Amino acid sequence: MSPRQERTVKTAESTVPEEFGPYVVYERLGVGGMATVHRAKKRGIAGFERGVALKRMLPHLAEDAEFINSFVREAKLASMLVHPNIAQIYDFGRVGSVYFIAMEHVDGFDVRKMLRYSNRHKEPLPLNVVFSIMCELCDALEYAHTFVDEHGQPQGIVHRDVSPSNLIVAQSGHLKVIDFGIAKANVRQLHTESGRVKGKLGYMSPEAVSGRAFGPVSDVFSAGVVCHELLTAHPLFSAKTDYDTLIRIHEAEIPPPSRRNPGVPASLDEVVLAGLSRDPERRLQTAGAFREALEYVADQSGIRFSARDVAEWRAKIATT
């Protein structure tokens, strides 16, 4: 890799792009324990260009062969997912020693921003906005959980990191789930040397944080946490320390959303709490069942919802 390719990308205020293989890299969009994400463009022949979100693995992980193999396998699997509520993976490769994934760049912001706005203004999201976001999330999860390859073989895809930072709301109001399948490659990174779980603990299921085997129903629990927080504008499990968060996931009372938001009907309380059962066998078993239950509650409550409702609500916070 040339010195120009290795140079760290400047901050968003910089106007100097970076060349990285066939990509021109612009401002950083995010950073995590596994990779950085930048807005970028891929250049092709005859002036062809495609805007992407370019995720580049952090250099120290390139030395872990087992991690790389898992990352490659999951990236290939995730690239097969084609669904309107899942950000598409376009390209996967390596420039020098740096592995990258180029994915669909969604013009929008993540659900964290919505939650911060709601929490700051003590204003839970309107019910029709929550229904729209959650039904599209459940659609994406159900599609991935039941995905089969060209031979009809189930692939057993579990997101493992359903959390607000991985849920992007586009200007159109539609939801896009990012990092499908990639989180599985990061499972080995969930524990520190002392064995303590780290990461987005506040959205993980009890079985996940305990290191037990888990599957699609664990994603359902995470979706339940997101739904509860959208309805209440308040964190459900997240606390100041990882230890306190873990204790809350395992032991804290899970109150019905209506306790903080009287506008939530009792039937919606029941659905959310069913998705948040600590016992995986007593929990809502599929994302499809979660969506059906939400649609039934909306129908019985006379609540109509669409992506347009989300677009109109998000417009007022887009510049905050």
Q: For 76-100, what is each residue's pLDDT tens digit?
A: 878 889 999 999 999 888 898 888 9
Place of tokens 């106007």: 15
Q: What is the pLDDT of residue 2?
A: 41
Q: What is the CA radius of gyration of the chain?
A: 20
CA torsion 249-143-174-184 (nearest 10°) is 50
| Length of the chain measured in residues | 320
79-102 b/e (C-beta count within 10 Å ≥ 16 → b) = bebebebbbbbbbbeebeebbbbb
For residue 276, the model assigns a pLDDT of: 98
CA torsion sign for 5, 11, 12, 13 is negative
C-beta of residue 86 within 8 angstroms of C-beta of residue 140: yes
Q: Give the pLDDT score at 5.
A: 42
Kindly tell me the burial class for residue 130, based on how many C-beta atoms sit within 10 Å of its own C-beta (0-12, 13-18, 19 or more): buried
Residues 288-307 have pLDDT tens digits of: 999 999 999 999 999 999 99
> What is the per-residue pLDDT for 194?
36
The reported pLDDT for the residue numbered 139 is 97
Question: Using CA of residue 204, residue 35, residue 11, residue 169, what is the dihedral sign?
Answer: negative
Predicted local distance difference test score (pLDDT) of residue 150: 85
| pLDDT score, position 195 | 38
User: What integer pLDDT is reported at residue 15 of this predicted model?
Assistant: 55
Give the residues of the chain that fall short of pLDDT 50.
Answer: 1-14, 187-199
Catalytically active residues are 161
